[in-house]
Amino acid sequence: MLEDGFGRETTGVRISLTDRCNFDCVYCHNEGLGDTRGPMEPAEDEMSTDDVIRFLEVAAEFDIQSAKFTGGEPMLREDLETIVRRTPDSIETSLTTNGTFLPDRATALVDAGLERVNVSQDALSPKAFQTVTKSSAYDDVMAGIDAALDAGLAPVKLNMVVFEQTAGYVPEMVDHVADNEGLQLQLIEYMPELAGRPEWAVDIERVHEWLADQADRVDRREMHGRNRYFVGEDDPDRPGGMVEIVDPVGNADFCANCHRVRVTHEGYLKGCLNRNDDLKSMGEMTKPEIREAFRETVDERVPYYGEYMVQDENGEWRFNEEYISA
């Protein structure tokens, strides 16, 4: 297993299979690359099926334990089931999707070996959903969640980005996962440094405090040092659910516990979500090229908050001059 200079083992990879998407969510930063919502037709620069598999085979050599397929919308790739099926058995596979294609494909994905799924759901009303996603596919998403549960992908984790337009929906989303068996909720802090519109950001600490008051118990997950809040467990009339907060902004603990390397849809390795100056080409994606690029990417990984960015005497984050002059 590869380890960076800060003692962080690399245990997972997050692979963007495409930048195409059938939604146009107002908060999207396209895996840190910016809102490049691509055309609906496949682009020539997307990694091929064999490119992705070669990368995963090399990842298995380095004892990578998990691979999450993302986009854009990864289910726009018609070869997704093939990619999942051909992923080395030692690597757990999961998917982040908007859910619209799950009604027709959830069972096939499970048959191919998919083990977990995250579905983006920012609101529980079609009108609010359309405002955020610029899509009228609310019913398709809800059907997709049901299809994932029916296919055996429980628990289905619902991804909700928390910002000015959605913060008021958090209580009803928390109740939703507490009232419906097989669902979990992942509240994701809005990242204005990637998505723009800093005025949309909310104080995520207030969300933590509110959830702590609502929860029956709280624990902490090793990955990214995330808090997990368990709600409805003490109510015999509710199945109960888990709510997790992903809060990377200004969070040195989050970065210190990051164990992932990212892959762009064009076949570049990316050591940090927050940076685009660290993109590393895998060339023609032969296995020797992938191995070399992977080793270099891990070796050059730096915690963004707490190292690449440091706090001044006023508590403000600034670039570490050591890396600016490097």
- Residues contributing to the annotated binding site: 14, 21, 25, 27-28, 68, 72, 96, 120, 157, 255, 258, 260-262, 272
Structure tokens at 174: 């928390």
CATH of 1-123+258-326, one of 3.90.1150.10, 3.20.20.70, 3.40.190.80, 1.20.1300.10: 3.20.20.70
- Residues contributing to the annotated binding site for [4Fe-4S] cluster: 21, 25, 28, 255, 258, 272
Burial of 221 (0-12, 13-18, 19+ CB in 10 A): exposed
Q: Which residues, other chains included, contact 297 with Cβ-Cβ below 8 Å and sequence gap of 6+?
A: 261, 269, 270, 271, 278, 280
pLDDT at 313: 83
- Give the residue from 93, 43, 63, 34 showing the smallest Cα distance to 294: 63
What SS3 state is found at 61?
helix
Asked if residues 156 and 148 have their Cβ atoms less than 8 Å apart, the reply is yes
End-to-end, the C-alpha distance of the chain in Å comes to 27
Residue with tokens 């200004």: 250
Along the 326 residues of the chain, how does pLDDT read in single tens digits? 999 999 999 999 999 999 999 998 888 866 555 555 555 666 678 999 999 999 999 999 999 999 999 999 999 999 999 999 999 999 999 999 999 999 999 999 999 999 999 999 999 999 999 999 999 999 999 999 999 999 999 999 999 999 998 999 999 999 999 999 999 999 999 887 666 677 888 899 999 999 999 999 999 876 666 789 999 988 998 999 999 999 888 888 889 999 999 999 999 999 998 888 889 999 999 999 999 999 999 999 999 989 988 888 888 888 888 887 65
- Residues contributing to the annotated binding site for S-adenosyl-L-methionine: 27, 72, 120
- Give the residue from 165, 148, 169, 167 showing the smallest Cα distance to 157: 148
Read off the pTM: 0.92
- Residues contributing to the annotated binding site for GTP: 14, 68, 96, 157, 260-262
Q: Which residues, other chains included, contact 95 with Cβ-Cβ below 8 Å and sequence gap of 6+?
A: 68, 69, 70, 74, 75, 80, 109, 114, 116, 117, 118
Asked if residues 43 and 33 have their Cβ atoms less than 8 Å apart, the reply is no
Q: Which residues, other chains included, contact 225 with Cβ-Cβ below 8 Å and sequence gap of 6+?
A: 251, 253, 254, 256, 257
Q: What's the CA angle centered on 310, arms 308 and 313, to 5 degrees?
A: 165
What SS3 state is found at 261?
strand
